[in-house]
Structure 1
Amino acid sequence: MLIRVFSYMKPYRKYAFLAGLCVAVECMFELIIPVLMANIVDVGVKNGDTGYIFTQGALMCLCAVIALFLGAGSAKFAAVCGQGLGAELRREEYKKIQAFSFANTDRFQTSSLVTRLTSDVTAVQNAVATGLRPAVRSPVMMITALVISFTINAKLAIVFVVAAPLLGFLLWQIVSRVRPMYGKMQAAIDMVNRIIQENLTAIRVVKAYVRGDYENEKFKEVNTNLQSTAEKAFRLAALNMPAMQLVMYATIVAILWFGGKLTMVGGMEVGALTGFLSYVLQVLNSLMMISAVFLMLTRSLASCKRIVEVLDEKIDVTEEEGVTDPGAEVAAGDIVFDHVSFKYKADGKEDVLSDVSFHIRAGQTVGILGQTGAAKSTLVQLIPRLYDVTGGAVYVDGRNVKEYPLRHLRDAIAMVLQKNTLFSGTVKENLRWGKEDATDEEIEAACAIACVDEFIDRLQNGYDTELGQGGVNVSGGQKQRLCIARAVLKAPKVLILDDSTSAVDTATEGKIRQGLARGLPGTTKIIIAQRVTSVQDADQIIILEDGKIDAVGTHDELLKTNDFYRGLYESQQKGALE
C-alpha cells in the first residue's frame, strides 16, 4: 500500500535522495563530536594541555555548524518532497474522480471524496515531510553508534541486547492497537464533513424550517464521535514516548552502574565512559525516533488505503472495449432504445427500467411524462452514457452508444439536468461552458432563445455579473434559463431538458419552446416535464410507469387511449380554469 502511494513521488526522488544524503552526512559529523569530547577529557584535561582542549573544542564547533546547515538542507528537501507527493496524489485522485461515472460517484459519498483529497493526502505528505529525516537519521545514528559503542567497550554494550528487544515489543504492542483506530478516525472525519456539507448546501431550508437546533445536535453527535475516536487513537499513540523513556533511562542507569564499577577497577577511562554514554543516548534516541516514524507510517497507512480505494476504483463507463472507430461522431441525433433494462447495482433485486423500446427520429421533439419515481431522468441519462444499460442497447444514429468515444458522444448531447448547477464566475463564463470560444453575438442569440435577455439587463453588470457558488444570487427560474442558454450555445445534435422549466411561468416556457424550435430546427429534443402543456405539441409523447413504457403517441392519441395522460391533462386544465 505504502509502496503504491510512494510511487507517485517519482518526480521528486532527487529531493528525497538529497534529503537522505544531508541527513546521513549530518549524522557523521554529529557522531564525531562525542569522540572529540572523550579526547578532551582523557588527553587534554588529564595532561593539562590547554592548546589541545581548544583545538578539539574548535573542531567540535565546526562539526556542529556543518551539521546545522546539513540539517536545514535536509528539512528543506524533505518538505519539497512531501508537498510534491501530496500534489501528485491530489492530481491523480481528482483526475480519477473526473473519469467516474454516476455509479462510481454513488459508491463514494461526496464528503468522503473531499476527505480523501484533503485530510488523507495531508496525512501522507506530512509523514514524508516530517518522517523522511528521522527515517534516515535513526538507522544511521543507531548502527554507527552501536559499532562505536562496542568498539569502546564490548562488555558494557551488551546492555543494548536486552534493551532493544524490549523496545521493539513495546512498539509492536502500541502500533498493533492504534492502527485500526486511525482508520476509524478518518471515517469519523467523513461524517463531520458530510453533516457540514449538507447543512451549508441546504442552509435556506434549515432556516426556513427553524431546524438550527436539530442541526446543531446532529453536528454535536458526529463531532463528539470524532473527538472520542481521536482521543482513543492519540491516547494509545502517546504511550510510545513514556514507554521508550522508561527503557531508555533504565538502560542509562544500568550502564552507569556497570560502567562506574569498571572505572573503579581501572577497566575503563572516565572519558571513555562519558563518550560511551553519549553514544548510548544516540542509540536510544534513534530507537525513539524509529518508533515515532512507525506511528506516522501507521497513520498514513490508513490514509493510503483510502486514497488507493479511489485510485483503484473500476470505472463503470469506459470506451476500452466497444469503440471500433475512434473518429465516430453523432451526425443527426436518431435515437433507438432496444429492449433496455437498467439497475443501479448489479446485485439489485429489481430493474429500475425494464424492457424499454422506442424510436426517436432525428430532429423530432419528444416529451416524456410519468409519475414521480417512474425513472424518467434515469432513462435519458443512458443516452450520453452517464450510466450504462444492464440489458438491451441504446443506439444513436444506428450505432451503439458504447461504440462512440465518450468525448464525441457527450459533445453531441446537451443536458439540462433536473438539478441546475452554475459555477462561481461571471454569467458569460458560465455560458461559455457550452462553447468555450463563443462570440458575444452567439451568446446573445442563445440567451434570446432561452429568454435570458428578459432579465440579463437587470443584473448589476449584465453578462459580467459575478455569480456566487451554485448561482445563489439569481432566482430559480433565472438559473434554469441560464442553464438552457448554456446548452443551446453548445448547438447539440440532441438536447435533453429534464424538467428544466419547472420554475418558470407557462408564458415564458412557451416562448422558450418556440425559441428552441426556431433556433435549433434540426436538433432532436427530449423534454421531461410535469405539465402537459410542456409536451403537448411534441411529435410523440412517451408515458413511463414504474420503469416501463405505458404508452407512446401524440397528444390527441393519448387523450383518447391513455387514462393517466387524460387524467393529468384534465386535472391541470381544471386547475388552470379555477
Structure 2
Amino acid sequence: MWKLIKSRLSWWAVGVGTLFLIVQVMSNLSLPTITSDIINKGVANSDINYIWHSGYKMMFIAFIGVIGSVVNVYFASTQAQKVGNKIRHDLFEKVSFMSDFEFEKFGDASLITRTTNDVIQIQNVMVMVLRMMLMAPIMLIGAGFLAYNKQPELTAVFLVSLPVLAIFVGIIMYFAVPLFKSLQKKIDRINLVFREGLTGVRVVRAFNQDKFEQDRFADANHDYMKTGITVFTIVSFMFPIMTLVMSGTNMGIIWFGGQLISNQTMQVGNLVAFMTYAMQILMSFMMLSMVFVFIPRASASAARINEVLATKNSVVDGENLTAGSGSDNNTATLDFNHVSFRYSGAERAAIDDADFHAKAGDTVAIIGGTGSGKTTLISLIPRLFDVETGNIKLDGTNIEQLSQHDLHDEVAFTQQKAVLFKGTIRENMLYGNEEATDDDIWRALEIAQTGEFISKDGDGLETFVEQDGDNFSGGQKQRLSIARTLVKKAKVYIFDDSFSALDFKTDADLRKALKDDPEMQKSIVIIVAQRIATVADADLILVMDGGKVVGQGNHEELKADNETYREIIASQIKEGDQK
C-alpha cells in the first residue's frame, strides 16, 4: 500500500497536518495536569481565584486543541480524497490503453470494483493513518510519561492491562484479517452478476429467467452478507473487551490509589489525572489496534490495484518509430505478409499465414463461417493484438514501427456490437472526429442511410441519444456507428459485420454510397460480412476457414473455383438469401 500512495501524497500537507495533530495531542495531555492542580491547589485550599484562572487556562488550551483537530482532519481528509482521485485517474488511464488481452484477463466487474471499492478502502485507511495511527503513539508515549511522573507506583497496573488487551486484539486480528481480504473478491462476484443481469436484461426476460437471475444474485449477495456479518461480529468484540479492560484498569487504579491516598503518599488530584492518562493510554492502544485491523483489508485492495497498474501491455510501441504518413490518402496501401497469430495458451493458430494486398479505392470483403477468424484478422490491423509471425504494412511501413496513436489516426473501426454514448447525435459523431463540421457529419449520416430517422427538418444533430443508444433499433444503432466511423478521416475503414442488422435494400444502398463517395475512393474499405449479397461486389474477397485464407479474388472467380465459397452460396440460396 505504501508503494501505491507515497508518490501520490502531498508531503507538505502531511507535514502541516501532523504539526497540528501534535498541537491537539499536547493540548489533550495538558488538561489532566491542570485538572489535578485545580483539585490539589484550588479545591484543597479553597482558592476560588486559582480555580477560575485555571478554568480559563483549560478553556484556552481546549480551544487550541479543537483548532488542531479541525486542521488535522481537514488535511487528512483532503489528502485521502486527492490520493484516491489520482489512483482512480491512473487506473482509468491504464485500462484505457490496455490491449484486449489484458482487459479480458481482469474482466469488467473486477476492474470496476478495483476502481471504486478498492480505492475507497485505501482512502478510509489513509484517514485513519493520518489521524489515529499518528496520534496514538504520540499520545501513548506522552500519557505514559506523564502518568509515570504523577505516580510511578500505579504504572504497574499497565503491566497487566496492556498485555491482556494485546492478546485479545491479536486473536481478533487473526480471525478477521483473512475475512476482510475475501470480502473484496466477493464484491467482484456481486458486481459481475449484477452487471450481467443489467446488460442482458432483455435476454433474461425473453427466456423468462428472471427467477434464475434473482437467485444467482441472491446467492452472491448472501455470501457477501454472511462473510460481512461474520467479520464485523468478530471485530465488534473489540469494543466490549476494551470497555472491560478499561473498567478493570480503573478499578485497579482506584484500589491502589485509594491506599496511597490513605497513606498520604498521593494527592486526590494526582489520582484523577492518573486515571485520565490511563484512559488515554488504553484508547491510544485501541486506536492502533483498529488501524492494524483495517490495514490488511486496504493492503489487499492496494495489491489488487497495483496488479492492474503493474500489468505490462502486450501491445507496445516499438523503439524505432516511424512518423505517420499524414493525411494524404491517395497512397494508401495495406499488406498482410504471411501473418499468423494465436491467442495466449491456444493450441491452434487463430490466423494462419494470411497474405494479401489492398490499395486505395479497393473494397476488401471477408467472409467465412462462425469462428473462422474474420474478426481476429481485422483486429490485427489497429493492433488490438500483435501478430506472432509475419508483418502488416500500411503504406509500406510495418505497423509496429508506427506509434499506436499514429496508427489509430489512420484506421477507423466499426465493431460488431454497435456502441453509442449518452448525449446527442452531434456529440456521438464528434467522437469520431472532434474537428468535423456539420457538413462532414451530414455527409457521413447520408452515406450511412440514416435519413429515415434523422432529418435536418427535425431535431437533426441535436437528436438525443439514450445510454447505449436504447432509443434506437438495432439497425439504426448500426448505421449511426457506421456514420461515426465515416466522420473520421482515415486510410483504412473497417466494418466488422456492422451491416448484419440492415435489410437488403439499405445494405445495398449503403455499400453503393461508400463506393461512389469521392473521399472513400481514396481509402481502403474492409467489410466483414456473413451474406454473399454484402460481399459480392467487392474488389477483393477473402474466404476464411479455420483461421486460414482459403481463397481470394472477386465474386466470379471464387464462385468458379473455390469450394468453400460455393458452399456458402449454396447454404444462402436454400435460405433465400442470395443476391
Q: TM-score range by the shorter chain?
A: over 0.9
Residue from 87, 90, 101 that aligns with 1:89: 87
1:152 is matched with which residue?
150
Check the 8 A contact 1:375/1:547 in 2, yes or no: yes
Q: Deviations over 1:38-64 (max 9, x none)?
A: 111111121121211221122122222
The aligned runs of 1:10-89 (5 Å cut-off) are: 10=9, 12-89=10-87
User: Is 1:199 the counterpart of 2:187 in the alignment?
Assistant: no
Q: For 1:425 and 1:240, locate their aligned partners in 2 and report how far apart those are by CA, in whole Å.
A: 51
Distance between the aligned counterparts of 1:158 and 1:337, measured in 2?
83
The correspondence for 1:324, drawn from 321, 325, 329, is 321
Corresponding residue SS for 2:495: strand
Say whether residues 1:462 and 2:463 are aligned partners: no
After the TM superposition, which residues 516-531 of structure 1 pair with which residues of structure 2 at under 5 Å, given as runs? 516-519=514-517, 520-531=520-531
In the alignment, the residues of structure 1 paired with residue 368 and residue 100 of structure 2 have an alpha-carbon distance, to the nearest angstrom, of 23
Partner residue, 1:576: 576
Distance 2:481 2:397 in 1: 29
Tell me if the contact between 2:186 and 2:220 (Cα under 8 Å) persists in the aligned partners: yes
What SS does the aligned partner of 1:525 have? strand
Whether the 8 Å contact between 1:323 and 1:402 is mirrored in structure 2 is: no
In the alignment, the residues of structure 1 paired with residue 26 and residue 206 of structure 2 have an alpha-carbon distance, to the nearest angstrom, of 68
Q: Deviations over 1:321-367 (max 9, x none)?
A: 3443245558533222223222221x332222223222223432111
Give the structure 2 partner of residue 448 of structure 1.
Answer: 446
Q: Over residues 406-450 of structure 1, what are the superposed CA-to-partner deviations in whole Å (9 max), with x where a residue is unaligned?
A: 111011111110111111110111011121121111111111111
Task: Give the superposition deviation at 1:237.
Answer: 2.1
Distance 2:544 2:70 in 1: 69
Q: For residues 325 and 140 of structure 2, what CA distance do their matches in structure 1 show?
A: 64
The equivalent residue for 1:546 is 546
Displacement, 1:236?
2.4
Range with bigger deviation, 214-223 or 13-22: 13-22
Bigger drift between 377-386 and 121-130 goes to: 121-130
Residues 101 and 523 of structure 1: is their aligned pair in 2 closer, same or farther, counting only changes over 3 Å? same
Q: 1:486 aligns with which of 480, 484, 487?
A: 484
The offset of 1:169, in angstroms, is: 3.4
Q: Is 1:167 the counterpart of 2:165 in the alignment?
A: yes
Cα 1:459–1:72, aligned 2, differ >3 Å: closer, same or farther?
A: farther
Cα deviation per residue 1:382-407 (whole Å; 9 max; x = unaligned)? 01101112232222222221100111
- What residue in structure 1 maps to residue 336 of structure 2? 337
CA shift in 2, pair 1:339/1:134, >3 Å: same
Deviates more, 1:287-296 or 1:520-529: 287-296
TM-score (norm 1): 0.95
Is the Cα–Cα contact under 8 Å of residues 323 and 403 in structure 1 kept in the other structure? yes
For the Cα contact (< 8 Å) 1:199–1:206, is it kept in 2? yes
CA distance in 2, matches of 1:87, 1:456: 40
Counterpart among 396, 410, 413 of residue 412 in structure 1: 410
Mean Cα deviation higher: 264-273 or 96-105? 264-273
Measured in 2, the distance between the counterparts of 1:62 and 1:397 equals 78
User: CA–CA distance in 1 between the matches of 2:129 and 2:292?
Assistant: 9
Post-superposition offset of 1:572: 2.2
Question: What is the CA-CA distance between 1:166 and the residue it aligns to?
Answer: 3.5
SS of match in other structure, 1:437: coil
C-alpha distance after superposition, 1:283-312 (max 9, x if no partner): 111111111122232221121111111111
CA gap 1:438/1:577 in 2 versus in 1, 3 angstroms: closer
Quote the Cα distance in structure 1 between the aligned partners of 2:570 and 2:137. 83
Deviates more, 1:72-81 or 1:441-450: 72-81
- What letter corresponds to residue 86 of structure 2 in structure 1? E
Question: 121, 125, 128: which is aligned to 2:126?
Answer: 128
Look up the match of 2:231: 233
Shift of 1:73: 2.1
Q: Using the alignment, how far apart are the partners of 2:577 and 2:263 within structure 1?
A: 116
SS in 1 for 2:521: coil
Q: Whole-Å Cα distance in 2 between the matches of residues 37 and 144 of structure 1?
A: 17
Q: How much has 1:458 moved relative to structure 2?
A: 9.3
Shift in CA distance, 350/567, structure 1 to aligned 2, threshold 3 Å:
closer
> Residue 341 of structure 1: SS of its match in structure 2?
strand
Map 1:333-412; keep pairs closer than 5 Å. Answer: 333-345=332-344, 347-412=345-410
Q: AA paired with 2:334?
A: I
The answer on whether the counterparts of 2:180 and 2:297 sit within 8 Å (CA) in structure 1 is yes
Paired with 1:166 and 1:67, the residues of 2 have a C-alpha distance of 31
Measured in 2, the distance between the counterparts of 1:571 and 1:354 equals: 25
The 8 Å contact of residues 487 and 495 in structure 1, kept in 2 or not, is answered as yes
Q: How has the CA–CA distance of structure 1 residues 127 and 560 changed in structure 2, closer, same or farther, with 3 Å as cutoff?
A: same
Q: 1:279 aligns with which of 277, 280, 300?
A: 277
Partner SS for 2:522? coil
Deviation sequence 1:193-215 (CA, Å, 0-9, x none): 11111111121222222221111
Distance change in 2, residues 1:173/1:351 (3 Å): farther
Whether the 8 Å CA contact 2:129–2:291 is kept in 1: the answer is: yes
| 8 Å CA contact 1:459, 1:465 repeated in 2 | no
Question: What corresponds to 2:555 in structure 1?
Answer: 555
- Aligned residue for 1:335, secondary structure, equals strand
Residue 262 of structure 1 pairs with residue 248 of structure 2 = no
Runs (4 or more) in structure 1 with deviation over 6 Å come to none
CA 1:284/1:536 → structure 2, altered by over 3 Å: closer, same or farther?
same
Contact 1:328/1:405 (8 A) holds in 2: no
Unaligned runs of 5+ in 2: none
Counterpart of 2:503, as a letter, is D
Equivalent-residue separation in structure 1 for 2:458 and 2:254 (angstroms): 81
CA–CA distance in 1 between the matches of 2:319 and 2:358? 23
Q: Match of 2:576, SS?
A: helix
| CA contact 2:323–2:406 (8 Å) conserved in 1 | no
Please tell me the residue identity of whatever aligns with 1:169: I
- Establish whether residue 188 from structure 1 lines up as the match of residue 186 from structure 2: yes
CA contact (8 A) 1:444 1:453 kept: no
SS of 1:218's equivalent?
helix
Deviation of 1:491 after TM superposition, in Å, equals 2.5
Instruction: Give the alignment's Cα RMSD to 1 decimal.
Output: 1.9
* Alignment CA distance shift 1:31-1:218 (3 Å): same
Q: Is the 8 A contact 1:353 1:547 kept in 2?
A: yes
8 Å contact kept, 1:333–1:493: yes
Distance 1:7 1:323 in 2: 34
Distance, in Å, in 1 between the alignment partners of 2:46 and 2:423 is 79
Distance 1:50 1:201 in 2: 75
Q: TM-score, normalised by structure 2?
A: 0.95
Contact 1:495 1:526 in 2 (8 A): yes
Q: Distance in 2 between matches of 1:357 and 1:234?
A: 61
CA apart distance, 1:162: 3.7
Conserved 8 A contact 1:178-1:233 = yes
> How does 1:425-440 map onto structure 2 within 5 Å?
425-440=423-438
Question: Contact 2:321/2:403 (CA < 8 Å) preserved in 1?
Answer: no
* 1:8–1:89 contact (8 Å) kept in structure 2: no
Cα distance between partner residues in 2 of 1:459 and 1:566:
46
TM-superposed deviation, 1:69 = 2.5
- Name which of structure 1's ranges 130-139 and 282-291 shifts more when overlaid on structure 2: 130-139
Greater mean deviation of Cα atoms: 205-214 or 80-89:
205-214
